[in-house]
Amino acid sequence: MADFELMRKLQIANDSKIVMLVIDGLGGLPVEPDGPTELEAARTSNLDHLAAESLCGLSVPIGPGITPGSGPAHLALFGYDPLKYEIGRGILEALGIGFDLHDEDVAARGNFCTVDEKGLIADRRAGRIPTERNVELCKLLRGIKLPGVQVFAEAVKEYRFALVLRGEGLEGELTETDPQQLGVAPLPVNALLPEAERTAQLLNQWIAQAREILAGQHPANMVTLRGLAKNPGLPSMEEVYGLRSAAIASYPMYRGVAKLVGMDVLDTGETLEEEVETLKAHFADYDFFFVHVKKTDSAGEDGDFERKVSVIEHVDELVPTLLDLKSEVLIVTGDHSTPALLKSHSWHPVPTLFHSPYCRADQTEEFSEQGCSQGALGRFPAVDLMPIAMANALRLAKYGA
């Protein structure tokens, strides 16, 4: 684990730049025995050339065998132990739509659902109402006021919305209201700690009013709340590492996680080229850049091996431009593996390279699962990336005399 006490104590300010390129879901699997992974199948002469000059290895996002969600996986890349700093699902849902979370916020993932005349759940997803209907219903829900706190109801997609309470003294130790079965009534919110009692009462008031407002809106005539959680209030990258940090990511979820660790989230476009342009435009303004590539993960989730290969090849084309920036440290990694074979995130460790004048390059000649498995970093915890990056940026003082 990145030892923050040590980072805080040893951090040195200088002008060096660290660029971390995160290719989401980078790691893969062969589709047939002895076949290549997505990364191995891709023609990546630039990344291979870079690997030959780099320190390589396979990073383990959370721990052996553990498949990470996007939130914990990114926290690990930024050096935050994801088992220590848990981000609740409600917080991730709000981050995923780009909601501007504050430190004291409590957030929940809301579902519109259908209840019968007795108030028992008949459809947990309200017939998967279209997103447009969701937007209209959230406007109605915004009419609900609660004493002493602000309330935000924000449409996500289909039957899903985010509910955020903002105010002093809110706590997130709360039970969910979705009974996860049909024919029973939604549960009340219960406090798991005495400190969360008031928050539970406020949420139950909100639910009671929501029930009245939605009464005539069949099939979306009720709501359930899941993943209730408070903003974890993480220490910032600047405080921990002394790095003025910026995120370049087109998807709200990743912009949100970056904001949780205090990064400035830069405006950028949908394409890789636009992201690289944003990096160039702001290169003088920050010490650390998190550059996120989403489409590898999406292709993996879709089980589309070839599309994942072609996204990787697209990333490879942009490597010379990244190198032209001459950052003192360039890291190419992924947050986790998303093998097309599994159509999901997986536990497999992730090919990773460190490029810097002081990295002590190993003999890896190919940026791939096989190549990086022979790298001098071996299998290493993802939370080690930031301390190694800080060292290669000559931003850490000696420990002890």
Q: Residues in the site for a copy of itself, rule: CB under 8 A?
A: 3, 6, 10, 29-30, 33-34, 37, 53, 58, 62-73, 82-83, 86-87, 89, 92-93, 227, 339, 341-342, 344-349, 358, 360-363, 369-370, 373-380, 384, 386-392, 396-401
Residue 170 beta carbon to a copy of itself: minimum distance, rounded to whole angstroms: 21
- Compare residues 167 and 339 and give the one whose CB is closer to a copy of itself: 339
CB closer to a copy of itself, 284 vs 401: 401
> Tokens 């519109």 belong to which residue?
112
Nearer to a copy of itself, 249 or 386 (CB): 386
Task: Give the integer Cα–Cα distance in Å for 176 and 188.
Answer: 8
Q: Which is nearer to a copy of itself, 11 or 190 (CB)?
A: 11
Classify the phi-psi angles of 331: left when phi > 0, otherwise alpha if psi is within -120 to 50, otherwise beta: beta
| Distance in angstroms (rounded) separating the CA atoms of residues 297 and 311 | 10
Comparison of 284 and 397: residue with beta carbon closer to a copy of itself: 397
Six token digits for residue 164:
């955020």
| Helix, coil or strand: residue 222 | strand
CB 378 to a copy of itself: min, Å: 4
The CB-of-38 to a copy of itself minimum distance in angstroms stands at 12
- Closest CB 33 distance from a copy of itself, rounded Å: 6
Alpha-carbon separation of residue 177 from 105, 164, 188, 200, 204 (angstroms): 19, 15, 6, 11, 10
Q: How far is the CB of 233 from a copy of itself (least distance, A)?
A: 17
**Is 45 or 363 the residue whose CB approaches a copy of itself more closely?**
363
Beta carbons of 226 and 111 less than 8 angstroms apart? yes
Q: How far apart are CA 152 and CA 166, in angstroms?
A: 8
Question: Rounded to the nearest whole angstrom, what is the least distance from the CB of residue 103 to a copy of itself in the complex?
Answer: 20
Asked if 286 and 258 count as a contact pair (C-beta separation under 8 A), the reply is no
Tell me whether residue 61 or residue 219 sits nearer to a copy of itself (CB atom): 61
Instruction: Determine the Cα–Cα distance for residues 198 and 145; give it in Å rounded to an integer.
Output: 15
Distance (Å, whole) CA 113 – CA 122: 8
Closest approach of a copy of itself to the CB of residue 320, in Å:
17
State both tokens at 111: 């579902």
Answer whether 90's CB lies under 8 Å from 108's CB. yes
Cα gap 366→42, rounded to integer Å = 11
Residue that has been written with the tokens 């390279």 in this structure: 353
